[in-house]
Amino acid sequence: MTRVRALMALAAVAVGIGLWFALTAPPDALQGEYSRLLGIHPPSMWVAFIAFGVTALGSIMWLIKKTERWDRLASASVEVGVIFTAIGLFTGMVWGQAVWGTPWDWQDPRLMSTAVMFFVYLGYIALRNAIDDPKIRARRSAILGAVAVVQVPLVYFSVNLFRTLHQTQSLRPDGSTMPDEMLLAMLVNMGAFMILYAALMVARIEVARIETAATPARALAGEAVRPPRLDEIEDV
Amino acid sequence: MSETVVVAGTYLISYGLIVAYAVYLHIRRRRAER
């Protein structure tokens, strides 16, 4: 518990610092105050991508090692990733309304691929809740977790591969497309969100570990049935 | 609605979601520990 609390406190301080950077960065000449969403929209989507990458890692490792901790890592990371994707979608819609004049475009590859990714990982959570047997649950979700990660590069590169309302990446191999103050605010918030991700992951894994330890091994149907003790029956 | 209010509200709702999730984890943990 102490470790979780310490990490949560660290995350709160980091997010506070990030917020200060986001609110004190100069506003964009065209977008005005909306450019401050730079401190929350890209960081939350980046963390979501990392979270789903960690899920894929945990899933593949479970398929190799078959140990419970990899299953816990993968499933915890999906839950946290879904939260950050929801934030990314929501903040993106607010930003879209401000700069594109619409919060959503059903034909936009970046928006739609992100939404599909969100629902696939929601499906992962639903799949886990639908299966009682821990082994079967771990195997099926590991297969889904390992396969579903193909969406991450698809979402990330959708702005380069297709025509979309969304701008292309601001951070490129040849430098950044924004002023240093804005870039700094975004990077500080990315660091803060990474700490937040780590804190939520540790808390979620702890919950899963305690719940597993607290759950008594449930008897499956048929286990109580014993074969007839024929040798004890006297011939009539 | 002014830009500042929209941006502040967006931050508030987003952080609120994270705080709600952290509280949910805390409650779930307490329940499992009992």
CATH number, position A90: 1.20.120
Within-domain flag for A185: yes
Within-domain flag for A224: no
**Each residue's pLDDT tens digit, A185-225:** 999 999 999 999 999 999 999 999 999 888 776 555 666 66
- Cβ within 8 Å, pair A200-B28: no
Within-domain flag for A128: yes
- Cβ within 8 Å, pair A210-B29: yes
**Each residue's pLDDT tens digit, A87-109:** 999 999 999 999 999 999 999 99
User: What percent of chain A is predicted at pLDDT more than 90?
Assistant: 78
Within-domain flag for A116: yes
- Return the DSSP state at B6: H
Nearest-neighbour CA in chain A from B12: distance (Å): 11
pTM: 0.89
Within-domain flag for A232: no
Nearest-neighbour CA in chain B from A213: distance (Å): 9
Within-domain flag for A65: yes
The complex scores an ipTM of 0.95
The whole domain housing A22 covers 2-168+180-206
In angstroms, the CA A8 to CA A197 distance is: 10
Within-domain flag for A195: yes
- Cβ within 8 Å, pair B14-A206: no
Within-domain flag for A10: yes
